[in-house]
């Protein structure tokens, strides 16, 4: 089963403890810290619009790209309910193709690039991003760290029994390829009270900070900063989320 197909429709419920307001504030703080004027943003792997919608409400002009039509359909429905107009495109970020250039900022939040598992694809995505940005434009993204994917998610198993959703999540970490395979099984209660089961298998690449920086350099980025876990400090050995901030 494709990644983020049926899962798209319960994604927001399962992410309900993520502080997206705090995430938006951090992104705005990063932009301020770079002393660069940002008006337009291309958001990669925008998912259900959890950052796209609040950033649009803050008057940024945003276009969102995601590979999953289902995630985009949830984003569209949420935007419509909130009276927000979004430009959303279904695309694989490994084959990024966007008409508008001279962008102020390209953003990718919450693991988008962990899903790009081949070096060549990552480099292509970074090169295309570099092309799309204006001179002095910002590229801001985060990844789940190598530490998180290898040591915390690793070969572990998780599960939760919520009111209407029960899931099991089993991981297998391949140390040679630095890939974590996540087998997800969901049981979702329908309107008739019966449970429907669906499964997805996700693959995420555990990149080291050095690998990401090298690919960014190959793509042409020179001014590259990395921060750990929503701070403005260098990532620590046990940082779980690493933010990269690059200027073209």
Ligand X SMILES: C[S@@+](CC[C@H](N)C(=O)[O-])C[C@H]1O[C@@H](n2cnc3c(N)ncnc32)[C@H](O)[C@@H]1O
Q: State the residues that interact with ligand X by CB under 6 A.
A: 4, 45-47, 50-51, 66-68, 71, 92-94, 109-112, 115-116
Nearer to ligand X, 18 or 195 (CB): 18
For residue 41, the minimal CB distance to ligand X (Å) is 13
Nearer to ligand X, 6 or 66 (CB): 66
For residue 109, the minimal CB distance to ligand X (Å) is 4
Nearer to ligand X, 66 or 104 (CB): 66
Strand pairing class (103-108; 133-144): parallel
Task: Report residue 126 as tokens.
Answer: 């970074």
For residue 202, the minimal CB distance to ligand X (Å) is 9
Crossing angle of the two packed helices 119-132 and 209-219, in degrees rounded to 10: 50
Backbone angles phi, psi at 176, to 5 degrees: -75, -45
For residue 70, the minimal CB distance to ligand X (Å) is 8
Strand pairing class (223-228; 195-205): unpaired
- Cα–Cα distance for residue pair 86/71, rounded to 1 Å: 14
- Cα–Cα distance for residue pair 226/104, rounded to 1 Å: 19
Dihedral class, residue 53 (left if φ above 0, else alpha if ψ from -120 to 50, else beta): alpha
Give the CB-side neighbour count of residue 61, counting CA atoms within 13 A: 7
For residue 135, the minimal CB distance to ligand X (Å) is 26
For residue 73, the minimal CB distance to ligand X (Å) is 11
Nearer to ligand X, 118 or 195 (CB): 118
For residue 103, the minimal CB distance to ligand X (Å) is 17
| Helix, strand, coil content of the chain in percent (nearest 5) | 30, 35, 35
Neighbours of 82 (CB within 10 A): 13
Length of the chain in terms of residues written: 248
Residue nearest to ligand X (CB): 47
Nearer to ligand X, 25 or 234 (CB): 25
Nearer to ligand X, 50 or 145 (CB): 50
Strand arrangement of the beta sheet that strand 179-189 belongs to: 157-161, 165-174, 179-189, 195-205
Nearer to ligand X, 64 or 235 (CB): 64
């Amino acid at each position: 089963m494709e990644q983020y197909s049926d899962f798209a429709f319960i994604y927001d419920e399962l992410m309900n403890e993520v502080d997206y307001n705090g995430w938006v504030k951090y992104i705005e703080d990063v932009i301020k810290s770079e002393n660069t004027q940002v008006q337009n943003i291309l958001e990669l792997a925008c998912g259900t619009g959890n950052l796209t919608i609040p950033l649009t409400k803050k008057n940024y002009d945003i276009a969102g790209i995601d590979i999953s039509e289902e995630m985009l359909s949830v984003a569209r429905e949420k935007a419509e309910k909130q009276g927000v107009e979004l430009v959303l495109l279904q695309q694989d970020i490994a084959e990024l193709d966007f008409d508008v250039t001279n962008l102020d900022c390209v953003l990718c939040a919450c693991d988008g690039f962990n899903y790009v598992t081949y070096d060549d694809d990552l480099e292509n995505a970074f090169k295309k991003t570099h092309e799309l940005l204006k001179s002095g434009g910002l590229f801001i993204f985060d990844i789940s760290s190598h530490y998180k994917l290898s040591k915390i998610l690793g070969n572990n198993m998780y599960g939760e029994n919520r009111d209407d959703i029960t899931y099991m999540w089993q991981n297998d970490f391949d140390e040679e390829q630095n890939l974590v395979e996540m087998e997800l099984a969901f049981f979702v209660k329908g309107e008739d009270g019966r449970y429907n089961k669906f499964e997805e298998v996700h693959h995420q690449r555990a990149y080291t900070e050095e690998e990401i920086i090298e690919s960014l350099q190959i793509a042409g980025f020179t001014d590259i900063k990395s921060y750990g876990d929503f701070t403005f400090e260098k990532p620590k050995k046990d940082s779980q989320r690493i933010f990269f901030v690059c200027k073209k």
